[in-house]
Protein backbone atom coordinates (compact mmCIF):
# COMPACT_ATOMS: atom_id res chain seq x y z
CA UNK A 1 0.00 0.00 0.00
CA UNK A 2 1.23 3.49 -0.91
CA UNK A 3 0.54 6.14 1.74
CA UNK A 4 0.07 9.52 0.10
CA UNK A 5 -0.97 13.09 0.78
CA UNK A 6 -1.80 15.94 -1.60
CA UNK A 7 -1.12 19.67 -1.24
CA UNK A 8 -2.83 22.19 -3.50
CA UNK A 9 -4.30 25.62 -2.80
CA UNK A 10 -7.25 24.81 -5.09
CA UNK A 11 -9.92 22.65 -3.35
CA UNK A 12 -11.29 21.52 -6.73
CA UNK A 13 -7.88 20.11 -7.67
CA UNK A 14 -7.76 18.21 -4.39
CA UNK A 15 -11.25 16.80 -4.99
CA UNK A 16 -10.10 15.43 -8.34
CA UNK A 17 -7.10 13.73 -6.71
CA UNK A 18 -9.37 12.30 -3.97
CA UNK A 19 -11.78 10.86 -6.56
CA UNK A 20 -8.97 9.37 -8.63
CA UNK A 21 -7.16 7.97 -5.58
CA UNK A 22 -10.33 6.20 -4.41
CA UNK A 23 -10.22 4.14 -7.62
CA UNK A 24 -6.63 2.93 -7.12
CA UNK A 25 -6.62 -0.12 -4.84
CA UNK A 26 -2.97 0.20 -3.76
CA UNK A 27 -3.10 3.94 -3.04
CA UNK A 28 -4.14 5.29 0.36
CA UNK A 29 -4.65 9.07 0.31
CA UNK A 30 -4.39 9.84 4.02
CA UNK A 31 -4.83 13.63 3.91
CA UNK A 32 -5.15 16.67 1.68
CA UNK A 33 -4.10 20.24 2.43
CA UNK A 34 -4.86 23.61 0.88
CA UNK A 35 -2.13 25.15 3.03
CA UNK A 36 1.37 23.70 2.68
CA UNK A 37 2.40 24.70 6.20
CA UNK A 38 -0.45 22.69 7.70
CA UNK A 39 0.98 19.60 6.00
CA UNK A 40 4.31 19.84 7.83
CA UNK A 41 2.99 18.39 11.09
CA UNK A 42 1.45 15.44 9.24
CA UNK A 43 4.71 14.80 7.38
CA UNK A 44 6.69 14.93 10.62
CA UNK A 45 4.40 12.55 12.52
CA UNK A 46 3.37 10.07 9.83
CA UNK A 47 4.90 7.83 7.24
CA UNK A 48 4.26 9.33 3.82
CA UNK A 49 5.45 7.48 0.73
CA UNK A 50 4.11 9.77 -1.98
CA UNK A 51 3.44 13.50 -2.16
CA UNK A 52 1.22 15.12 -4.80
CA UNK A 53 2.34 18.75 -4.73
CA UNK A 54 1.19 21.85 -6.57
CA UNK A 55 3.98 24.23 -7.61
CA UNK A 56 2.34 27.64 -7.61
CA UNK A 57 0.84 28.34 -4.19
CA UNK A 58 0.31 31.73 -2.49
CA UNK A 59 2.58 31.48 0.58
CA UNK A 60 5.36 29.18 -0.61
CA UNK A 61 6.12 27.48 -3.90
CA UNK A 62 5.93 23.71 -4.03
CA UNK A 63 9.59 23.69 -5.05
CA UNK A 64 10.71 25.62 -1.95
CA UNK A 65 8.40 23.60 0.27
CA UNK A 66 9.81 20.26 -0.91
CA UNK A 67 13.38 21.54 -0.57
CA UNK A 68 12.65 22.39 3.07
CA UNK A 69 11.62 18.85 4.01
CA UNK A 70 14.06 16.66 5.92
CA UNK A 71 12.26 13.42 5.10
CA UNK A 72 11.34 13.58 1.45
CA UNK A 73 8.55 11.36 0.09
CA UNK A 74 8.47 10.41 -3.57
CA UNK A 75 7.44 13.59 -5.36
CA UNK A 76 4.81 14.12 -8.03
CA UNK A 77 4.26 17.71 -9.12
CA UNK A 78 0.71 18.75 -10.10
CA UNK A 79 0.47 22.06 -11.91
CA UNK A 80 -1.23 23.93 -14.71
CA UNK A 81 2.06 25.44 -15.89
CA UNK A 82 4.16 23.36 -18.26
CA UNK A 83 7.21 25.63 -17.94
CA UNK A 84 8.02 23.98 -14.59
CA UNK A 85 8.64 20.58 -16.17
CA UNK A 86 12.41 21.13 -16.33
CA UNK A 87 12.48 22.07 -12.65
CA UNK A 88 10.60 18.89 -11.82
CA UNK A 89 13.17 16.88 -13.74
CA UNK A 90 16.06 18.63 -11.97
CA UNK A 91 14.50 17.88 -8.58
CA UNK A 92 14.19 14.21 -9.57
CA UNK A 93 10.42 14.24 -9.23
CA UNK A 94 8.90 10.89 -10.12
CA UNK A 95 6.39 12.51 -12.44
CA UNK A 96 4.82 15.79 -13.55
CA UNK A 97 1.04 15.88 -13.88
CA UNK A 98 -0.12 18.77 -16.03
CA UNK A 99 -3.62 19.95 -15.11
CA UNK A 100 -6.20 18.98 -16.12
CA UNK A 101 -4.95 15.37 -16.12
CA UNK A 102 -7.06 12.30 -16.81
CA UNK A 103 -7.55 9.29 -14.56
CA UNK A 104 -5.49 7.12 -16.92
CA UNK A 105 -2.59 9.58 -16.63
CA UNK A 106 -2.97 9.61 -12.84
CA UNK A 107 -3.02 5.80 -12.74
CA UNK A 108 0.16 5.64 -14.81
CA UNK A 109 1.89 7.84 -12.21
CA UNK A 110 0.62 5.66 -9.36
CA UNK A 111 1.96 2.56 -11.07
CA UNK A 112 5.38 4.23 -11.40
CA UNK A 113 5.29 5.10 -7.71
CA UNK A 114 4.36 1.52 -6.80
CA UNK A 115 7.26 0.08 -8.81
CA UNK A 116 9.68 2.60 -7.27
CA UNK A 117 8.61 1.79 -3.72
CA UNK A 118 8.76 -1.96 -4.32
CA UNK A 119 12.35 -1.58 -5.46
CA UNK A 120 13.24 0.51 -2.40
CA UNK A 121 11.57 -1.90 0.02
CA UNK A 122 13.45 -4.97 -1.16
CA UNK A 123 15.97 -5.86 1.53
CA UNK A 124 19.47 -5.81 0.00
CA UNK A 125 21.80 -8.73 0.69
CA UNK A 126 25.01 -7.34 -0.79
CA UNK A 127 26.92 -4.28 -1.95
CA UNK A 128 29.38 -3.62 -4.75
CA UNK A 129 32.71 -1.94 -4.02
CA UNK A 130 35.61 -0.90 -6.21
CA UNK A 131 38.79 -2.77 -5.34
CA UNK A 132 41.63 -1.17 -7.34
CA UNK A 133 40.33 -1.58 -10.92
CA UNK A 134 37.75 -4.25 -10.15
CA UNK A 135 34.13 -4.11 -9.03
CA UNK A 136 33.63 -6.66 -6.26
CA UNK A 137 30.34 -8.00 -4.95
CA UNK A 138 30.29 -8.46 -1.16
CA UNK A 139 27.53 -10.43 0.54
CA UNK A 140 26.68 -8.89 3.91
CA UNK A 141 27.12 -12.27 5.58
CA UNK A 142 30.77 -12.34 4.45
CA UNK A 143 31.67 -9.05 6.14
CA UNK A 144 32.96 -9.28 9.73
CA UNK A 145 33.74 -5.59 10.16
CA UNK A 146 34.98 -2.55 8.25
CA UNK A 147 37.82 -0.27 9.33
CA UNK A 148 38.62 3.26 8.17
CA UNK A 149 42.28 3.63 7.31
CA UNK A 150 43.39 6.92 5.75
CA UNK A 151 41.34 7.56 2.63
CA UNK A 152 40.33 3.92 2.39
CA UNK A 153 37.95 1.49 4.03
CA UNK A 154 39.23 -2.00 4.83
CA UNK A 155 36.56 -4.70 4.54
CA UNK A 156 37.55 -7.61 6.75
CA UNK A 157 35.88 -10.78 5.48
CA UNK A 158 35.84 -14.40 6.62
CA UNK A 159 38.93 -15.32 4.61
CA UNK A 160 40.41 -12.11 3.18
CA UNK A 161 40.58 -8.30 3.32
CA UNK A 162 39.67 -5.75 0.65
CA UNK A 163 40.60 -2.06 0.46
CA UNK A 164 38.28 0.42 -1.23
CA UNK A 165 38.56 4.19 -1.45
CA UNK A 166 35.63 5.65 0.52
CA UNK A 167 34.60 7.34 3.76
CA UNK A 168 32.90 5.81 6.77
CA UNK A 169 29.85 8.02 6.15
CA UNK A 170 29.51 6.81 2.56
CA UNK A 171 29.80 3.18 3.65
CA UNK A 172 27.19 3.56 6.39
CA UNK A 173 24.75 4.97 3.84
CA UNK A 174 25.12 1.78 1.78
CA UNK A 175 24.64 -0.70 4.62
CA UNK A 176 21.40 -1.77 6.35
CA UNK A 177 21.34 -0.32 9.87
CA UNK A 178 19.68 -3.43 11.27
CA UNK A 179 22.81 -5.46 10.41
CA UNK A 180 25.69 -2.99 10.62
CA UNK A 181 26.52 -0.49 13.36
CA UNK A 182 29.30 2.05 13.77
CA UNK A 183 30.98 1.44 17.14
CA UNK A 184 33.98 3.76 16.84
CA UNK A 185 35.01 6.65 14.60
CA UNK A 186 37.02 4.11 12.56
CA UNK A 187 34.99 0.89 12.85
CA UNK A 188 31.72 -0.52 11.56
CA UNK A 189 30.76 -4.02 12.71
CA UNK A 190 28.39 -6.73 11.54
CA UNK A 191 26.12 -7.15 14.58
CA UNK A 192 25.47 -10.78 13.72
CA UNK A 193 29.19 -11.63 13.98
CA UNK A 194 29.81 -10.26 17.49
CA UNK A 195 30.87 -13.02 19.90
CA UNK A 196 31.62 -10.91 22.98
CA UNK A 197 30.98 -7.35 24.22
CA UNK A 198 33.09 -5.77 26.94
CA UNK A 199 33.18 -2.26 28.37
CA UNK A 200 35.44 -0.66 25.75
CA UNK A 201 35.77 -3.38 23.14
CA UNK A 202 34.06 -6.26 21.41
CA UNK A 203 35.20 -9.46 19.74
CA UNK A 204 34.45 -10.78 16.28
CA UNK A 205 36.16 -14.10 15.45
CA UNK A 206 39.80 -13.54 16.50
CA UNK A 207 39.56 -9.74 16.16
CA UNK A 208 39.24 -7.29 19.07
CA UNK A 209 37.58 -4.02 18.06
CA UNK A 210 37.49 -0.82 20.16
CA UNK A 211 34.12 0.61 21.18
CA UNK A 212 33.87 4.36 21.83
CA UNK A 213 31.99 5.51 24.92
CA UNK A 214 29.45 7.35 22.74
CA UNK A 215 28.56 4.09 20.96
CA UNK A 216 28.83 1.68 23.90
CA UNK A 217 25.25 1.86 25.17
CA UNK A 218 23.83 1.91 21.64
CA UNK A 219 25.66 -1.26 20.64
CA UNK A 220 24.64 -3.11 23.81
CA UNK A 221 20.97 -2.17 23.45
CA UNK A 222 20.98 -3.08 19.76
CA UNK A 223 22.50 -6.52 20.32
CA UNK A 224 20.15 -7.28 23.22
CA UNK A 225 16.98 -6.46 21.22
Whether 144 and 104 share a structural domain: no
20-64: pLDDT as tens digits:
999 999 999 999 999 999 999 999 889 899 999 999 888 888 888
Picking from 62, 91, 121, the residue at the C-terminal end of a domain is: 121
- The continuous run of DSSP H or E covering 168 comes out as helix 168-174
* Structural domain range at position 53: 2-121
Whether 137 and 94 share a structural domain: no
- What pLDDT score does 88 carry? 54
91 in Cβ contact with 63 (< 8 Å): yes
Model confidence, pTM: 0.57
What's the rounded Cα separation, in Å, for the pair 193 and 202? 10
Whether 218 and 138 share a structural domain: yes
The DSSP line for 20-69 is HHTT-TTEEEEEEESSHHHHHHHHHHS--SEEEEES--SSS-HHHHHHH-
What's the rounded Cα separation, in Å, for the pair 35 and 69? 15
138-191: pLDDT as tens digits:
999 999 999 999 999 999 998 999 999 999 999 998 898 888 999 999 999 999
106: CATH: 3.40.50.2300
Whether 188 and 149 share a structural domain: yes
Whether 108 and 147 share a structural domain: no
Total structural domains within the chain: 2
Whether 117 and 132 share a structural domain: no
Whether 132 and 32 share a structural domain: no
What's the rounded Cα separation, in Å, for the pair 201 and 184? 10
What's the rounded Cα separation, in Å, for the pair 196 and 208? 9
Picking from 74, 105, 121, the residue at the C-terminal end of a domain is: 121
Amino acid sequence: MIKAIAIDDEPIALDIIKNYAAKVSFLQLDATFVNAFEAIEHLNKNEVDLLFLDIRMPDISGIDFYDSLVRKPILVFTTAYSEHAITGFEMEALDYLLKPFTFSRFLKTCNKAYDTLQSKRKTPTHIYIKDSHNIVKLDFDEILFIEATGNYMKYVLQTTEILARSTIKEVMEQLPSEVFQQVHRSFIVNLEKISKIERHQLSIASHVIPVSASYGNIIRKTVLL
